């Protein structure tokens, strides 16, 4: 059994894989790390290797806790990748984006794949049909946009993401929701259009915690997969330990 752990900006997510299939996944706040890991290994004592991925600086204690139970691989720019990485500064490429690229490569090895991850930031990552990671883009996520409007103006409130009833707002709050939710949907559609104009037969994967806010508003055909990053981490764990 494999354990994959994704330490994000807001939550820690983990999943257990057996023979390539995800059999369990959960998310929790970082303060619960020790207790959650102990509970997990009590439930799945046959886990024998794990991979840790952190978008920030990984605390040594987190690695050491997992290492008490099994072998641990910490994902970094030095990890082996199954695809060709053509990023100009590979040492600055986030490990979350490496995992998404790996998932794209394994799930569509002879195709062009664009992965869009709607989290704290919205990232776009492209793997072409030659098995080459060519780069992408980083854009502010929806909560970041709400916070920017509140913090950079004198009168706009701090809102939480909400469903959009109409793209024409008729109050300050509904105008802000339209600007963020509808604006992101239009942005994503536009970016997909740019990639489709360059890459034939493009497969688009949408993932991330905020993807549900605009997935149904996209005009382009996409495949939604909320567990795509975790699947990529499992692929990289296998690739780096076998």
191 is in an annotated binding site: no
135 is in an annotated binding site: no
Q: Which alpha helices (H) appear in the chain, and where do they start and end?
A: 33-43, 60-67, 95-107, 142-151, 172-177, 183-198, 228-241
120 is in an annotated binding site: yes
Q: Is the CB of residue 149 less than 8 Å from the CB of residue 178?
A: no
Residue 62 and residue 53: Cα distance in Å, rounded?
11
166 is in an annotated binding site: no
Residue 46 and residue 72: Cα distance in Å, rounded?
14
89 is in an annotated binding site: no
Structure tokens at 104: 């794209």
59 is in an annotated binding site: no
Half-sphere exposure of 131 (CA within 13 A, CB side): 7
Catalytic residue among 96, 166, 189, 210: 96
Whether 59 is a known active-site residue: answer no
162 is in an annotated binding site: no
* Residues carrying an active site annotation: 96
Binding residues for K(+), by number, are 117
Binding residues, by number, are 6-13, 87, 94-97, 117, 120, 172
Binding residues for ATP, by number, are 6-13, 120
Binding residues for substrate, by number, are 87, 94-97, 172
């Amino acid at each position: 059994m494999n354990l994959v752990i994704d330490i994000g900006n807001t939550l820690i997510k983990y999943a257990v894989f057996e023979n390539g299939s995800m059999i369990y996944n959960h998310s929790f706040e970082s303060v619960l790390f020790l207790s959650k890991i102990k509970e997990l290994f009590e439930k799945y004592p046959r886990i024998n290797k794990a991979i840790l991925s952190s978008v920030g600086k990984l605390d040594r204690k987190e690695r050491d806790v997992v290492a008490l139970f099994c072998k641990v691989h910490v994902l970094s720019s030095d990890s082996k990748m199954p695809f060709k990485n053509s990023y100009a500064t590979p040492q600055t490429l986030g490990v979350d984006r490496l995992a998404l690229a790996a998932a794209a490569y394994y799930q569509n090895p002879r195709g062009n794949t664009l992965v869009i991850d709607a989290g704290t930031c919205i990232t776009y990552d492209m793997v072409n049909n030659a098995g080459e990671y060519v780069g992408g883009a980083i854009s502010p996520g929806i909560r970041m946009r709400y916070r920017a409007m509140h913090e950079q103006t004198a009168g706009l409130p701090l809102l939480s993401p909400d469903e959009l009833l109409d793209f024409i707002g008729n109050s300050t709050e509904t105008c802000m929701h339209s600007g963020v939710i509808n604006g992101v949907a239009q942005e994503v559609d536009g970016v997909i259009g740019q990639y489709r104009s360059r890459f034939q037969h493009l497969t688009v994967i949408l993932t991330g915690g905020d993807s549900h806010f605009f997935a149904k508003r996209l005009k382009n055909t996409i495949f939604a997969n909320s567990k795509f990053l975790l699947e990529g981490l499992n692929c990289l764990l296998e690739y780096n330990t076998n």
